[in-house]
Amino acid sequence: MKRQIALLGLMGRGGALSKIHELIRELPVSRVMTTALLTLPPDATMMQLKELLREHHISGVPVVGGGRLVGVVSIEDLIHALEVQRLDAPIREFMTSEGLVTAHAQEPVMEALRRFEQMGIGRMPVLDARQKLVGIITRGDITLALLRALQELYTEAETIQDRPQHFFDALESENTSLQLRYRIEKGDFALGGDASGKIKRALLRIGASPQLARRVAIATYEAEMNLIIHSDDGGLVLADIQPTTITVVAQDSGPGIADVELAKQPGYSTATPEVREMGFGAGMGLTNIERCTDKMSIWSAVGVGTRLQMTFLVSPEESGEGDEETGQGA
């Protein structure tokens, strides 16, 4: 369960599952194969094969003659030679040379795995685009490579999972919180959303669930855009992150809202056509903020300024895998 939660933390873009998917589909044989290649010429004896297999603890080798792959000889062939007492015979008499199954350096391991399955074989010589022998691949190589990659994913997930504990538990105080502050400039549309994005990434980094991070980011983004669009000379976004509550405050020093209740109505807007062209100013900002927060309060006075406080409770579900928001409350 914990693992799963931690893995969900990786679901940012792409996610753990698609990473595994991608890995299997895209990892090329060349990244998995053994390249320190042992080969034998076709006129080496089965006795030489026996020595080579024993010395290197391997179960088969490609046979190379005239610079080309001509066959594969394995421990089964050696047993066959032993049965007929012909250890002095050349390898070419016992090796598999016809219908040789090979892998290509650039094909995905998934394809190679499929061929292992279909042919019931243990190893395949790997050829490059010019049909030159460049390595050998076994089922074990593929398993190991995938396990190693999975291990990396889990380590990454565990690092993320361990962060909030390390982060908050390591600090002793009556009331620990992390504060982030951003100055928002009036009319700076190009940077609009920068602070919200940074708060979102900070939350994810210290272990918040993606759902919670998204809720906070969306509400903060709307508030940030309000400062850019409506304030006289910009404002501040302050995020206070505690283990159970996140509070984000957006404040400015004017012009102030004359009728806060009216401003909260869906569709009510004083934005200019230019702002609407930017995709904002549809009068949905506060509605959207209210939907994303657990508590929203606005204090405003004309000529003094506006203070919007948004509170988000870190619910138990949200430290795990709570339901996605579907906009039902809109």
Partner 1 sequence: MTLDEILQATEAQMLVEPPYNIDLESACASDLMSDVLIFTKPNMLLITGLTNPQAIRTADMAEAPAVIFVRGKYPPPETLELAEEMGIGVLMSAYTMFETAGLLYQAGLKGIGKLPIMRQQR
322 binds partner 1 (CB under 8 A): no
Which positions from 102 to 141 touch partner 1 by CB under 8 A, shown as an x/- string? ----------------------------------------
Q: Binding to partner 1 by residue 324, rule CB under 8 A? A: yes
Query: 283, 263 in Cβ contact below 8 A?
Result: no
Based on the shown chain and the rule CB under 8 A, indicate whether residue 282 belongs to the binding site for partner 1: yes
**Closest separation between CB of residue 13 and partner 1, Å?**
5
Shortest distance in whole angstroms from residue 28 CB to partner 1: 15
Pick the closer one to partner 1 by CB: 273 or 279. Answer: 279
Torsion of CA 200, 205, 209, 213, to 10 degrees: -10
CB of 263 to partner 1, least distance (A): 10
Q: Are 225 and 280 in contact (CB under 8 A)?
A: yes
Interface of this chain with partner 1, residues 162 to 221, rule: CB under 8 A: 189-190, 192-194, 196-197, 200, 210, 214, 217-218, 221
Sign of the four-CA dihedral 104, 105, 111, 114: positive
Round the CA-based radius of gyration of the chain to a whole number and report it: 32
Is the CB of 147 or the CB of 262 nearer to partner 1?
262
Q: How far is the CB of 273 from partner 1 (least distance, A)?
A: 13
Asked whether 276 and 270 are in contact (CB, 8 A), the reply is: no
Nearest of 83, 49, 43 to residue 64 by alpha carbon: 43
Torsion angle (degrees, nearest 10) of CA 118, 120, 124, 127: -20
Q: What is the torsion angle, in degrees rounded to the nearest 10, for the CA atoms of residue 193, residue 198, residue 201 and residue 206? A: -140
Residue 183 tokens read as 């100055």
SS3 content of the chain, % helix, strand, coil (to 5): 45, 20, 35
| H helix runs in the chain, sequence order | 2-9, 15-26, 46-56, 75-83, 109-119, 139-164, 194-205, 210-230, 260-263, 273-277, 285-292
* Least distance (Å) between residue 78 CB and partner 1: 44
Between helix 109-119 and helix 139-164 the angle, nearest 10°, is: 130
Does the footprint of partner 1 cover residue 326 (CB under 8 A)? yes
Interacting span for partner 1 (CB under 8 A) from 112-120, 163-171, 262-270, 309-317: 262-270
**Out of 71, 125, 207, 285, the residue judged to bind partner 1 by CB under 8 A:** 285
CB of 256 to partner 1, least distance (A): 20
Which lies closer to partner 1 via its Cβ, residue 141 or residue 224? 224
Our CB check for partner 1 shows the closer of 37 and 278 to be 278
State in angstroms the smallest separation of the CB of 289 from partner 1.
10
Backbone angles phi, psi at 91, to 5 degrees: -55, -35
Which residues in 19-48 contact partner 1 (CB under 8 A)? 19, 21-22, 25
Position among 283, 296, 309, 320 found at the interface with partner 1 (CB under 8 A): 283
Count of residues in contact with partner 1, rule CB under 8 A = 46
In the complex, what is the shortest distance from the CB of residue 197 to partner 1, in angstroms, rounded to a whole number?
6
Contact set with partner 1 (CB under 8 A): 11-15, 18-19, 21-22, 25, 189-190, 192-194, 196-197, 200, 210, 214, 217-218, 221-222, 262, 265-268, 278-280, 282-285, 287-288, 291, 324-330
